[in-house]
A and B are shown apart, each in its own frame.
Chain A
Amino acid sequence: MRLVPINETVKTILAVFPNLEDASSAVAGMIAQRIVPAAIEMMDNLTIRAIESRMPSGYPVEAEGVVLIEVDGLREEVEAQSAAVQQVCHDNGALSVRLARDEAERAALWAGRKGAFAAIGRLTPDYYTVDGVVPRTKLPATLARIQEISRESGFRIANVFHAGDGNLHPLIMWDSDVPGAEEKVIDAGAEIMRVCAAAGGSLSGEHGIGMEKKDLMPLIFSRDDVAQMLKIKSAMDPGGLCNPGKMFPTAGRCLELFARRGRAVGW
């Protein structure tokens, strides 16, 4: 692995927005101003409330969108970037913008984000973490669709995501004791995957495919694309010994899924 020295300075900014559209515009504004922060983490209202009820982190509970932005690098670079980031947030309708003054405050701002999944876990018997990616500019439309999926399916869905790279983590809140809920929650997750795929995105940003998503691969890969990957697999693992059945669609299941819900690419 190639290593790099630790950054000289890190600054963390918390910006509160009246809605996720404005928050997304602020992110686009940063990129337009040639700023690519080290991290841009967004949380929606449901997540904010969950966090504040479990471990108050200074996130306003009425906010529809909180964005945590981190810039790092040389002192002078970080000063200039953090000033520009704060300005962009104000220009895009932020209700408040706060720069962590010291390491303790920085840690506190991050504690909320880092505890988000656990906080959601306190609000629901079970939650299903979805991992999908869309181009940055498609985030607002995708989040709006996820809200529709929440309404249609009857599951509450909290959103915590890496806005800087378009990687979404909708948390679908459900109860495994309710008969039939498991199939429904999996369907809601698959529907979110369809939305990501239709927006030009991907089925996974960091967690991989696995049993859960292998039959959704046709949403973004054609039969030929998958055949190409299988050729690589057979060259490197001719006996099929390495993690069999973990990445590629199983023909029957797959066709059934798409017959029911439509639209695979080239299958």
Chain B
Amino acid sequence: MTSTASETDGVATANRVAPASREELAEALHGADQRGEAVAPVGGGTQLDLGMPPTRLDLIIETTRLDKVVEYEPADLTVTVEAGLLFAELQKRLAEQGQFLALDPPAAPGATLGGLMATNASGPLRFAYGTARDLVIGTRVANPDGTVTHAGGRVVKNVAGYDLNKLYIGSLGTLGIIVELSFKLAPIPPATNTIVGQFADVNAARAIINAVVQSPLSPMAIELVGPRAASAAALPEAMLVVFRVGGYPQAVERQVRDLSALVTQHGGQRVETSDTVWDDLTGMRIAAQSRDVVVKAAVPLVESTRVVEILERRLAASDPVVWAHAGNGVAYAACHAPSDSTVLRELRAEVAALGANASLVIQRCPTSLKRAVDVWGDPGSSVALMRALKAKLDPNNTLNPGRYVGGI
């Protein structure tokens, strides 16, 4: 069993509200808090599988009616939006001005900005542009005590007060409900291109990635794509290294030339591709999100090829689709559910051995597996601090109880 918009891991409620303003939303949250009810904030409901099953659920609060662009001044390269605005809708609005939010998570069409921030979703562009924590400049949240508070602001440089933006991002709705967000934006590069290299030898792939990250070349993304993932994107069924480049046309040409030469020098073979190959890869990642199991590994950058190899090998019996943001050391696998949790435990142990902070999070899996394995893994020594923060910001444990790290 997985999750739908009205239930999470089999825990369901018929009570749902979709407030029309942030004040109404704060009131609904405060009311639930006073009645001792547990609340699940929901945006587009596309990522409800993330986390452990909730321990309680009495009310779903939807953010989808908070869907306005609050302020957009293109010359400021910033935008402020309500949290229920669709990610796709924002990108469409920004593209009209030649700008974009430099974030490309594998988001389903219904994904909202609030949901993507609460889950700290990211994609290949994190190599050049960073993740949500680098792009969010202001956050407004509704709190269980009924207040609506903001942190940060609408300017790109700001050190006034604590930077709570970074705390709310990735907190999975356990500290407050995000109702408004301000982002810094980037211009859409005047030209882009994608270079695909096919490698028979995983060490050769490792060598070219290390060479490129240490060169002055500046791809927007460096992706490793495993054979099944490649095949799912209509590419040759082999280990691929994919570079996305953008900028002025003459600079894009130079990067295509240099990266193609590096592919050949490292014993790879340049794959001739269609213009849509980058979109096809995006489509592959989005489709993979609906497989039974999705895991995310974080390892030192130099271990990107090794973690892909580990994911392919450990999950081989479950038809894995594997890809990595190789310039960041972040890898994903999406596959059928393994017969028991042992496979996932052993996988986690092997990934953890790749570095002091290496980790494996199970982003999605059947509820039955969640009973056998903690999807977050060992939270480490910082869990006490996380609990202290939770106790201060949500003292009655109203928000998404039980779903977060360490049972928070």
Contact = CB atoms under 8 A, between A and B. Distances in A.
Top 7 closest pairs, chain A to chain B, by CB:
A34-B187, A8-B216, A77-B251, A80-B248, A76-B251, A231-B392, A205-B157
B184 to A, nearest CB: 9
B73 A235 contact: no
Given A32-B74, A205-B159, A220-B160, A74 B255 contact: yes
Interface of B: 73-78, 98, 143, 147-151, 153-162, 164, 167, 186-190, 213-218, 247-248, 250-251, 253-255, 385, 388-389, 391-393
A36 B392 CA distance: 40
A9 to B, nearest CB: 8
A137 B155 contact: no
Contacts of A61: none
A228 interface: yes
Given A31-B75, A235-B392, 19 more contacts: A34-B187, A73-B218, A73-B247, A74-B254, A76-B250, A77-B247, A133-B155, A133-B157, A133-B158, A137-B75, A137-B76, A165-B156, A166-B157, A167-B157, A204-B160, A205-B159, A207-B159, A225-B149, A228-B393
A7 interface: yes
Interface in A196-234: 200-209, 213, 217, 220-222, 224-229, 231-234
A164 to B, nearest CB: 9
Chain A interface category by residue count:
35 or more
B129 to A, nearest CB: 12
B161 A34 contact: no
A228 B155 contact: no
A74 B217 contact: yes
A221 B161 contact: yes
A134 B385 CA distance: 34
Given A34-B188, A36-B77, A135-B78, A225 B151 contact: yes
Interface in A96-124: none
Contact of B389 (A75, A200, A235): A235
A191 interface: no
B86 to A, nearest CB: 24
A136 interface: yes
Contact of B155 (A79, A166, A208): A166
A134 to B, nearest CB: 7
A195 to B, nearest CB: 14
24 contacts: A8-B216, A31-B77, A73-B218, A74-B251, A74-B254, A75-B254, A133-B155, A134-B155, A135-B73, A135-B78, A136-B76, A137-B75, A165-B157, A166-B76, A167-B157, A202-B155, A202-B159, A204-B159, A208-B159, A221-B161, A228-B143, A234-B392, A235-B388, A236-B389
Contacts of B385: 235-236
A226 to B, nearest CB: 8
A244 interface: no
A209 B149 contact: no
A162 interface: yes
Contact of A135 (B148, B155, B186, B251): B155
A73 B247 CA distance: 10
Contacts of A32: 74-75
A107 to B, nearest CB: 21
B389 A76 contact: no
Contact of A224 (B149, B158, B186): B149
Interface of A: 5-8, 28, 31-32, 34-36, 73-77, 79-81, 133-137, 162, 165-167, 200-209, 213, 217, 220-222, 224-229, 231-236, 247
A81 B76 contact: no
A36 B389 CA distance: 37
B215 A203 contact: no
Contacts of A227: 147, 149
Interface centre among A79, A167, A217, A228 (most CB of B within 10 A): A228
Contacts of B389: 232, 235-236
Nearest to A234: B392
Contact of A74 (B148, B157, B247): B247
A222 B76 contact: no
A233 to B, nearest CB: 8
B391 A235 contact: yes
Contacts of A136: 75-77
Nearest to A224: B147
A206 B157 CA distance: 7
Nearest to A202: B158
Nearest to B247: A77
A217 to B, nearest CB: 7
Contact of A34 (B147, B190, B215): B190
A185 to B, nearest CB: 21
B160 A200 contact: no
B232 to A, nearest CB: 30
A267 to B, nearest CB: 14
Contacts of B188: 34
Nearest to A200: B154
Contacts of B187: 31, 34-36
B77 A81 contact: no
Given A76-B254, A135-B78, A235-B389, A247 B155 contact: no
B158 A204 contact: yes
Contacts of B217: 74
A231 to B, nearest CB: 4
Contact of B154 (A36, A79, A135, A228): A135
Contacts of B392: 231-232, 234-235
